[in-house]
Amino acid sequence: MPDRRTFLKSSALGAAAGLPLLAACAPETPDVAQDPDEGAVAPIRPVALSTWNHGLAANREAWPILESGGRALDAVEAGVRVPEADPAITSVGYGGAPDREGHVTLDACIMDEAGRCGSVAFLREILHPISVARRVMEETPHVMLVGQGAQDFAVAQGFERQNLLTPEAEANWRTWLERNGETGPPPVNTENHDTIGMLTLDMDGNLSGACTTSGAAYKLHGRVGDSPIIGAGLYVDNAVGGATATGWGEAVIRAVGCFLVVELMRQGHPPQEACRLAVERVIEKNPDWQEIQVGFIALDRQGRYGGYCIAPGFDYAVKTPDIDELVDAPSRL
């Protein structure tokens, strides 16, 4: 059993701009475990790592599963189901912003320790897309189901259809439509983001990951972002580590972002540095990078973690903090 002394931290990349990227939950660890220069670091287990402040609630849900010796996959699914069901979170599941036609369409994917994966995209009227993605992984020979086919599969699996458009989300959409009906979707930036991505490492040393979103607000009908794309929005390799992404999905897809983060860790880069290098690749591939927000978080098989992002208004040159400088609000579970 792990030490009961656990900690939860919400870290901000560029705290001055109030941009929390990463929430972590892990046993209290010796400094050496986060030192990339140390050869043999003591493995830290278990760990739950999520994007944004919403990740704190997800981590709280996942933690008892991990702490009692449960499987990383069960923990990661249980964790992200919390923001999926929370109507106050306008970028995931119920209460998520609709597309420009007023439909809430959901993208999600999940990966386990064996590299198995499942994904759903452009899924409507199902509260927990992450659980449908898991069923795709476990109950079908496929990786990805989309649109009506994904919904039909979910219903056949016992999921109920329900309206996911809350009155608040509908009112915001109507206001946006009145003011911006002739323009394209707004870019994903600090006011319009919040995909929940989550990575877990269990007591057996196994990793899993999940990513779930309602996608870019007021997107074109039919648009699918990075979040359900294995390798872009999420990637897990049990021999190395896992990564998940948040922000402007088109930019992440162009760089195959999360696969890149994991490959960089495979080459020996610690998680924080791997995320930074992947952000640099996003910058290379996206000339409009100063107008978009993109972030990665990563967790390696030793339990080390990190995150890095770009966002409009940030001075890229100063955004190279060490993870320990990012701790914003440490608190006990």
Tell the residue number behind the tokens 């948040």, with chain if given: 246
User: What residues does 22 pair with on adjacent strands?
Assistant: 11, 51
Output the smallest distance, CB 76 to ligand ASP, in A: 17
Output the smallest distance, CB 325 to ligand ASP, in A: 24
Of 43 and 87, CB closest to ligand ASP: 87
User: Using CB under 6 A, which of 10, 34, 91, 212 touches ligand ASP?
Assistant: 91
Please confirm whether the linkage preceding 187 is cis (ω < 30° from 0).
Answer: no
Q: Look up 213 and say whether it is catalytic.
A: no
Phi-psi region of 191 (alpha: psi -120 to 50; beta: other; left: phi over 0): alpha
User: Using CB under 6 A, which of 225, 231, 241, 270 touches ligand ASP?
Assistant: 225
User: Using CB under 6 A, which of 99, 125, 226, 263 touches ligand ASP?
Assistant: 226
Which positions ≥6 away from 136 have C-beta within 8 Å? 118, 119, 120, 142, 143, 144, 145, 150, 153
Give the distance from CA 289 to its chain's centroid. Answer: 20
80 binding ligand ASP? (CB under 6 A) = no
- The CA–CA distances, whole Å, from 305 to 33, 34, 131, 146, 199 equal 10, 8, 25, 32, 10
213 binding ligand ASP? (CB under 6 A) = yes
Phi-psi region of 69 (alpha: psi -120 to 50; beta: other; left: phi over 0): left
Query: Which stretch in 176-184, 243-251, 275-283, 298-306 sits in contact with ligand ASP by CB under 6 A?
Result: 243-251
Binding-site string for ligand ASP from residue 173 to residue 202, where x marks contact by CB under 6 A and - marks none: ---------------x----xxx-------
249 binding ligand ASP? (CB under 6 A) = yes
Dist. CA 7–CA 101, nearest whole Å: 43
Residue whose C-alpha is closest to residue 298's, from 324, 322, 276: 276
- The CA–CA distances, whole Å, from 147 to 141, 164, 199 equal 18, 15, 26
Output the smallest distance, CB 248 to ligand ASP, in A: 6
Output the smallest distance, CB 188 to ligand ASP, in A: 5
247 binding ligand ASP? (CB under 6 A) = yes
Question: Which residue among 105, 195, 212, 246 is the active-site one?
Answer: 195
Count of residues of this chain found to bind ligand ASP when the rule CB under 6 A is applied? 15
246 binding ligand ASP? (CB under 6 A) = yes
Binding site for ligand ASP (CB under 6 A): 91, 188, 193-195, 213, 215-216, 225-227, 246-249
Residues with catalytic roles: 195
